[in-house]
Amino acid sequence: MKHWRYIALHAAVAAVFIFLLQRYGLNASLESSLLWALTFGGCAAGLAYAQANR
């Protein structure tokens, strides 16, 4: 169960980071920032899952 917490935390941190970067760093629209956050969060979750199962 500890692995799922790690995966969720990794995905959440990546999503928040890319959202803030897009929204405030690059002045992107809200819809674009949310889409990128969802994409990067999903990719981060996939990477964290792969690392947790090695």
pLDDT tens digits for 6-49? 999 999 999 999 999 999 999 999 999 999 999 999 999 999 99
Cβ contacts of 14 within 8 Å, gap of 6 or more: 40, 41, 43, 44
Q: How confident is the model at residue 51 (pLDDT cuts 50, 70, 90)?
A: very high
User: Model-level pTM?
Assistant: 0.87
| Euclidean distance between CA atoms 50 and 38, whole angstroms | 18
| Euclidean distance between CA atoms 32 and 44, whole angstroms | 18
Question: What number of other Cβ atoms are within 10 A of residue 21's Cβ?
Answer: 15
Residue ranges per structural domain of the chain: 12-52
Please report the pLDDT score of residue 44 as a whole number: 96
